[in-house]
Structure formats: structure tokens, C-alpha cells
Structure 1
Amino acid sequence: MAYEFKLPDLPYAYDALAPHMSAETLEFHHDKHHAAYVTNANKLLAGSGLEDKDEITIIRESFGSNPGLFNNAAQVFNHTFFFDGMKPGGGGDKLPGKLAEMIDRDLGGFAKFREDFINAGVTQFGSGWAWLAVKDGKLEIMKTPNAENPFVHGATPILACDVWEHAYYIDYRNLRPKFLEVWLDNLVNWEFAEANLEAAL
């Protein structure tokens, strides 16, 4: 059975993240950008030799060998992961136990994690992503260009922030640092991150 990329519904209403992320941003980001990656990934998967693989295997095996398929397949995953990693009334420094414990152990505590995560997103030149990931049993902050994600760098993603301009330009214009601050303080679904952490260990 050939794999088919799908566009999942958002896990909240389009206006649920306002005022931190507008309905207009989510309508464009999910219904236009994310949807286009799904359409293109399915077109490029046909005839690639990877049709019978699962999503993560397609991403890993197309990296470096089939850039068109990789870019679209990875962006389908990245966007679903990004949207699922937010919730109304999210963010802040009240983290679930295991996640809080490992941020203290591996990343120097929440305040340092927040500063370093924002810095990763701000210093990702051009388009890309900031990630919290697990590698070799430890948490680390990563930044990746364009469609790349932790899977192609030997790590497992826990949380992602999209720093492509289409993720924030309607609401924040060129103020990427402000977007990252607001995202961490008001939008992150820490329970989603905790569940991903537990699954990765």
C-alpha cells in the first residue's frame, strides 16, 4: 500500500491562538503553504522508489538524494509537528516533570533554555526551524535550514518553531525575535513536547 501524505486539520480553531497568532496567519500557513507541501509531496513520491515506506523513512532516505521529494515531505511533517506543538493558553515556564527535569539537566534550566532557543531561531539565517530534540538520550537545541529536521541529523524532534517568514510576517513583520518570545511564552504545548520526549527515550 503506497504511503499518502495528508493535510490534518488544525487541533484548534483558526482564531484560537489570537492575539499571539492570528487566524489570518493560520489560514495562509495551514490552508495554503502546508496544503501545497502535501500536494507536491504526493506528486513527487510517485515513481521515487519510496512509495511503500513510512513518512519518516521517506524523509530520511530522500535527504541528499531526491531534494524535491525531501523538501516537500519534510515540510509536511515539520508543519504538522509545529501546529500540534501549540495550544491556546500555552507557553510559560510551568513544564511537565520529565521535560523540566531534562531541561535542567541538559540545558542549564528553563531561563537558559528559553534564551538559547530564541537565539537559535533568530540566528537561523534565512528560512528554517528551531528545534528541541533528543540525541543520544540528551536534550539539545538545534536549528536547521529550509526543510531539514532532526531526523536527518541523528536526533528525534520534541518541539519545533517555524522561522520561515510565512510563519510570522503577517503578525510580526520582520520581528522574528519577538515572534519567538511570544511563541515560547504563550503558545507552546508543553504536554505535546513531554509526550514526544517520553516516546523518544
Structure 2
Amino acid sequence: MNEHYPFVNPPLPYAYDALEPYIDTQTMYLHHDRLQQRYVVNLNIILKDYPQLQSLSLEELISDPESLPAEVRQGIINNAGGVYNHIIYFSGMTNSMTRSQADELYPAIQQDFGSVEQFFDEFKKYALSVFGSGYAWLVLDSNGRLRFVTTANQNSPVTDGFCVIAGIDVWEHAYFLKRFNDRAAYIEDWFHVVSWEAADERYKACMNVES
């Protein structure tokens, strides 16, 4: 992924059918190659006429929206957020049998949520609570504690100062072809393909930032 303009859509880190039977092949293709690509194209079109913004990374573009020119602020929030959020979502899934490994994140989950079961139950409740389109996120707050937050549309927790560890896309396009409007079933599917190894790496990076 380019660190700044012009942005490109990074390839999936696995084959389109790698997450079967939990996430279907056609959904992965349309989600990544059509929807994610459109966010990339739109973002580049917006930034083309704003050279002062072209050296900024995705995270920098969405971290302080109030500093952006008013006429393109919402467009950047929508499209830079769309690219950033999807990169975390796609890179946070795997077909690897080691997906449950999380050396440092696992004990932190037990400490902050009581048990893995409580963690999953609460994560599911947050993901189900999103009205319409959005995401549920596992983040690290400024006190170094894990918590769940939700965002609408393509807004990102980065804007609110959180460090992102993992996130589930609950827009209907992420699951409608397979699960129709059954978001709960999709969330259960997603739990089977989460890369907690990748989440662990993000958690370690977040802890380094906090320290």
C-alpha cells in the first residue's frame, strides 16, 4: 500500500476463496475489487487538486478531520476512511490454523474482559448494535486498556484517538450474498476467520505507541 497519494488498492493477503465456507468467494471479490477499489479511486480524485494533502498517509488524513479543507472534508472522511478501514478488515482475516495465536493480546483480553467467552459475547453485542452501516472495533484506549467501539459508515476510531487492533465490517455488502440480512450469523462466521496473530501484532504496535 502506498503511504501517500496516489493510493493503490493492496491485494488481498490470501486467495478470494481462502475464507470459505465462512466468507464466500464472490463476496470477497466484489468487496475488495469493486467496493474497496472505488474508495481508492475516489480518494485519489479528491486529492488530485490538493497538493498540500498529497504527502499525508491514510492515518494522517483521518486523524484530524477539522484540519482538512471544508469543501473536501467529508469526502476524505468517507473515502480515506473506507480505504483505511477495509485494509484493517481484510488483513485481519486468515485461513491459517494459527489464527488463534495471540501471545500478548490473549492475556490482555483475559485481564480486561474476564474471559475469552465474555470477550466474544461483548464483541458480538457491539457488532449487532450498529444501526445501518458501520464497524465494530477492538481498540486500545489512552489508558492502555482494551475496549470496544463502533463507528458509523466509514468513520474510524483513529479520529477519536484510539489505536485500532481489529475490526469487523458490518455493512450489509460484507455478508448479504451469503447471509442475506442475518448479521448475527455473519459475525459468527467472522469469528472463525479472524487472524488473532495479526491482531496481536497490531496490539504490540499500539502498546509501543502508548509507552
* TM-score > 0.5 by shorter chain: yes
2:36/2:86 contact within 8 Å kept: yes
Give the Cα–Cα distance (whole angstroms) in 1 for the partners of residues 83 and 171 of structure 2.
14
What residue in structure 1 maps to residue 153 of structure 2?
Answer: 146
Match of residue 101 from structure 1: 107
Is the contact between residue 37 and residue 75 of structure 1 (CA under 8 Å) also seen in structure 2? yes
- Structure 1 residues 105 and 91, CA, compared in 2 at 3 Å: closer, same or farther? same
Distance 1:158 1:112, change over 3 A: same
The alignment's TM-score, normalised by the length of structure 1, stands at 0.93
Question: How big is the shift at 1:108?
Answer: 2.1
Q: CA RMSD in A?
A: 1.8
Partner residue in 2 for 1:17: 19
> Are positions 1:116 and 2:122 aligned together?
yes
Question: Aligned partners of 2:5 and 2:161: how far apart in 1?
Answer: 23
Residue aligning to 2:94: 87
Query: Does residue 193 of structure 1 match 2:196?
Result: no
For 2:150, give the aligned amino acid: K
Q: Who is 1:7 aligned against?
A: 9
Percent identity reads 35
Give 1:188 shift.
0.2
Offset at residue 90 of structure 1 (A): 5.6
CA contact (8 A) 2:8 2:40 kept: yes
1:84–1:2: structure 2 CA closer, same or farther, 3 Å change rule? closer
The amino acid that maps onto 2:196 is W
Structure 2 residue ranges without an equivalent (≥5): none
Kept in 1: contact 2:4–2:55 (CA 8 A): yes
The alignment status of 1:55 with 2:62, answered yes or no, reads: no
Which residue of structure 2 aligns with residue 177 of structure 1?
184
1:20–1:120 distance in 2 versus 1, CA, 3 Å: same
Q: Would the aligned equivalents of 2:23 and 2:189 in 1 still touch at CA under 8 Å?
A: no
In 2, distance between residues paired with 1:121 and 1:43?
Answer: 32
C-alpha distance in structure 2 between counterparts of 1:111 and 1:25, whole Å: 28
Contact 1:129 1:143 in 2 (8 A): yes
- CA separation of 1:170 and 1:151: change in aligned 2, threshold 3 A: same
